[in-house]
Structure 1
Amino acid sequence: MVVRVAIKPVLLEWAIKRSGRSMSEIEHKFPKVQQWLAESYQPSFKQLEDFAAFTYTPFGYFFLQAPPKEMLPIPLYRTLDSQQEPNEASVNLIDTIQTMQSRQNWLRDYLIERGADPLSFVQSANIHDNVAEVARHIRKTLKLTTDWAAEHTTWTDALNFLRETIEDIGILVVVNGIVGNNTHRKLDPQEFRGFVLVDEYSPLLFINGADGKAAQMFTLAHELAHVFFGYSAAFDLRGSLPSADLIEVKCDQVAAEFLVPAYEFKVAWDQAEKTDNIFQHMARKFKVSEIVIARRSLDLAFIDKPAFFSFYERYQAEERKTKAAQSGGGNFFANQKFRIGKRFAESVILATKEGSLLYSEAYQLTGLRGKTFDEFANSIGYEV
């Protein structure tokens, strides 16, 4: 006997809108969805389960009296005015933050059980502190010199080094452009470029990997500042500019000073003006992308906003072309190191090896199962 389930149409409509899927996609998968909406026919229990999975909706939500008001657990700072509610977000962003919170909570408990001390640098800066002093404090914590980036061959090398250095001091860094490993659920960089979950044991930085590579270093530095100030948040940094909120402005200023100190920039600018391409020359010197240099030029009033946005749009267009020309999604296991985060992955693998974490729990935390989990562990130097 097939069990039919009476569902309020408003819940079905809400789930469809929330998923971001088109009605044609829904109707192709569920030919009788219009009848469900009209209440002339009811879905079976199995059909409702499939519908929940297809629309990324928790199954229990369909038995509520009205759609829940889902809000992000952290502020979402937007650069430009928006018609959206302050903390209204896509299901992809909500699901991603919830997954990261689960990982963070597990690692926090794991570290506390093993007697780890809280990280002293978390919330060690005050929002009213001098920008240059905070940037120096961050560099000192990371054991970096003022010209650390210049020691690397390219700015992408410098970016990789910075990410690894941040993980070395106890911060989780995740880079992903999709929800988990679901290539059909792409994260929109127009909605957010990254977010930060501050915690004194397991702070987490998430970079939207769908964003252009050139912008990711600034996003990473901006997120790092959030940890030192002690503010969790998501942000879009539209056009590489912050929202008007004080904490966003301050994190932006610190990130800029951390990557390209004002004094060194001003000294180098005089020499760069004699070259054919100022931004390119400065980018090579400081080992950051040209976007970061252009943004710093704007901050320090070497160029105005129209000049900055003109350059920014051209650079983004070229980067999109380059990205479109690239084929394939890269090595799966190499991607996992970024999508899961090296520090978190190592902790999960070690906990599994010592028997304090069940394999089923490890699979749930990493999104990798069975042989795939084992092969990933091997790929980063662990045998399970």
Structure 2
Amino acid sequence: MSAVRISEQLLSWALRRANLTEDHLVRKFPLIHEWVAGRRYPTLKQLEELAKATRTPLGYFFMDEPPDESLPIPHFRTLDDGAPRQPSPDLIETIHAMQHRQEWMRESLMARGQEPLPFVRSVRPDEDPRTVARRMREVLGFGDCWATAYPSWSNALRASRGAIDDAGILVVVDGVVGNNTSRKLSPDEFRGFVLVDEYAPLLFVNGGDSKAAQMFTLAHELAHVFLGGSAAFDLRAMQPAKNPTERACNRAAAEFLVPEDALRRIWPSVQGNPEPHQAVARHFKVSTLVAARRALDLRLISRDQFFEFYNSYLDATHRAAEGKKEGGNFCSDQNLRVGRRFATEVANAAAEGRLLYSEAYDLTGLYGNTFHRYAGLIGMGRAHQ
């Protein structure tokens, strides 16, 4: 088979884009060094395999220069040196997939005469975070210290996801690209993103992150819906980027989870505790990570104290994750990955003939019997195809 002449520049770009080096690929592609140097060229079959390995559309290799793959939304980073960074194929594909879901949901709701959600973009970044947090709780039907009614913070997290979904906001929690378990989403690149829309706002939480961090990410994203800005963010150490809206969302999220007045009231009784963050976490039904971050926000502890706790927390989390088996309840998993409300809308449309089943499968990432099994579990039954 004849060789295909490709640009060394494009090949090097594809490797950087996929966060790979020549050494990563040399076992599968023994001539990779020769290709990058331009001394030899791959066959079409080899190029197809290389495109798959680097998660690069095959057609890109035939372009004159690398394409501009900027994200459709801002990507805020806590530690940003201003240098341009190439987003990963995983993040790009995930955002595009969620945009596709959102666009379909928006059109479906509008076709049914759904009114715009009144709380979207309803507050300003300069408003008092207590006011913003109160508005967020009102929309979800929560009181000031709402989470204290639940036996644990994980139950409170589950309840908040359900309330957000009931309010008309799509919530997706996933740690991989599509159904490809070999393509894990990196929390170091992004903890989540939000796509703001008056009819179908969508929150995406990186399921590869710890559950403790997911709680804050979800609240931060919810604040974005009220303040009105779509964005992705990494929230390193649960700290925002140097952006007014990001900081406003962080303040509102913190107040939503742990109200300042309530924490100041109990702090004198817990600060002498050997594990004060554990005591705060138990009281407010949040994770110890959220409790520690809130204490830092209110200057109840120093930055050194926070990062000492934060680093030890990360170490403990990584140790606990080692050797942990994957898996879970099928219906619960799909409620996270697809969303009960979104899946119900899709299943209804397919059953009524407004949507082809092939399109329903693509929208949900569930195919054939798997789609119908989930539809049955959420009360939709098995529609005739």
TM-score, scaled to structure 1: 0.93
Partner of 2:59: 60
Helix, strand or coil: the match of 1:28? Answer: coil
Superposed counterparts of 1:65-104, under 5 Å: 65-82=64-81, 84-85=83-84, 88-104=86-102
Distance 1:184 1:68 in 2: 25
User: Where do residues 189-268 of structure 1 align in structure 2 (5 Å cutoff)?
Assistant: 189-268=187-266
Partner of 1:313: 311
Q: Residue 118 of structure 1: which of 103, 116, 119 is its match?
A: 116
CA–CA distance in 2 between the matches of 1:332 and 1:36?
44
Q: Distance in 1 between matches of 2:176 and 2:83?
A: 22
2: CA distance between counterparts of 1:266 and 1:382?
47
RMSD: 2.0
1:345 alignment partner, one of 340, 343, 366: 343
Question: Cα distance, 1:185 vs. partner?
Answer: 1.2
- Alpha-carbon distance, 1:296 to partner: 1.0
State the SS of the aligned residue for 1:104: helix
Offset of residue 366 of structure 1: 1.9
Q: Indicate if the aligned counterparts of 1:180 and 1:339 stay in contact, CA closer than 8 A.
A: no
Question: What does residue 271 of structure 2 align with?
Answer: 273
Q: How far apart are the structure 2 equivalents of 1:297 and 1:371?
A: 49
Q: Which moved more, 1:5-14 or 1:23-32?
A: 23-32
Q: Distance in 1 between matches of 2:154 and 2:349?
A: 32
Give 1:271 shift. 2.2
Equivalent pair of 2:17/2:86 in contact (CA under 8 Å): no
Q: What's the offset of the Cα at 1:45?
A: 3.9
1:289, distance to aligned residue in structure 2 (A):
0.7
The equivalent residue for 2:162 is 164
Opposite residue 7 of structure 1, the aligned amino acid is: I
Cα drift, residue 333 of structure 1: 4.8
**Structure 1, gaps ≥5 residues long:** none
Q: Counterparts in 2 of 1:31-70, with a 5 A limit?
A: 31-39=30-38, 42-70=41-69
Deviations 1:96-115 (A, max 9, x none): 11111111111111111111
Aligned length: 382
Tell me: CA distance 1:200–1:355, structure 2 relative to 1, closer, same or farther (3 Å).
Answer: same
SS at match of 1:205: strand
Q: CA deviation at 1:331?
A: 4.0
The corresponding residue for 2:128 is 130
- Letter of the 1:155 partner, please give it: W
| CA distance in 2 between partners of 1:369 and 1:352 (Å) | 13
TM-score (norm 2): 0.93
Q: Indicate how the Cα distance of structure 1 residues 29 and 368 shifts in structure 2: closer, same or farther if over 3 A, else same.
A: farther
**For 1:295, what is the secondary structure of its paired residue?**
helix
Matched, 1:303 2:277: no
Query: Displacement, 1:343?
Result: 2.0
Task: Report the AA paired with residue 77 of structure 2.
Answer: R
- Tell me the residue number matched to 1:367: 365
1:220-278 Cα offsets, whole Å, 9 max, x none, are: 11110000000011111111111121111111110111111111111111222354422
**Deviation at residue 165 of structure 1 after TM alignment:** 0.4
Aligned 8 A contact 1:150 1:287 in 2: yes
Bigger Cα displacement from structure 2, 221-230 vs 43-52: 43-52
Instruction: Report the equivalent of 1:26.
Output: 25
1:330 maps to 2:328 = yes
| 8 Å CA contact 2:194, 2:230 repeated in 1 | yes
Q: Distance in 2 between matches of 1:268 and 1:89?
A: 43
TM-fit CA distance, 1:299: 1.1
What is the alpha-carbon distance in structure 2 between the residues aligned to residue 72 and residue 103 of structure 1? Answer: 17
User: What residue in structure 2 maps to residue 13 of structure 1?
Assistant: 12
Do the aligned partners of residues 371 and 59 (structure 1) sit closer, same or farther apart at CA in structure 2, a change above 3 Å counting? same
C-alpha separation in 1, matches of 2:55 and 2:111: 34
Cα deviation per residue 1:146-168 (whole Å; 9 max; x = unaligned)? 12100000000000000110010
In structure 2, distance between residues paired with 1:98 and 1:265: 40
**Pair 18,223 (structure 1): closer, same or farther in 2 beyond 3 Å:** same
SS of the residue corresponding to residue 171 of structure 2 reads strand
- Please list every run of 5 or more consecutive structure 2 residues that lacks an aligned counterpart in the other structure: none
Compared CA separation, residues 176 and 375, structure 1 to 2 (3 A): same
Determine the C-alpha separation between the residues in 2 that align with 1:146 and 1:63: 58
The answer to whether the Cα contact below 8 Å between 2:76 and 2:231 also exists between their aligned partners in 1 is yes
Asked if the contact 1:36/1:43 (under 8 Å) is kept, the reply is yes
Q: Deviations over 1:271-304 (max 9, x none)?
A: 2235442211111110001111111111111111
Q: Residue 16 of structure 1 contacts residue 55 of structure 1 at CA under 8 Å; is this kept in 2?
A: yes
Structure 2: distance between partners of 1:110 and 1:202:
10
- Looking at structure 2, the residues matched to 359 and 21 of structure 1 have their Cα atoms a distance apart, in angstroms, of 37
Name the % identity: 49
Whole-Å separation in 2 of the counterparts to 1:27 and 1:312: 38
Query: Residues of 2 paired with 1:18 and 1:176: CA distance?
Result: 22
User: Within 1, Cα distance between the matches of 2:304 and 2:313?
Assistant: 14
Does the CA contact (< 8 Å) of 1:72 and 1:88 recur in 2? Answer: no
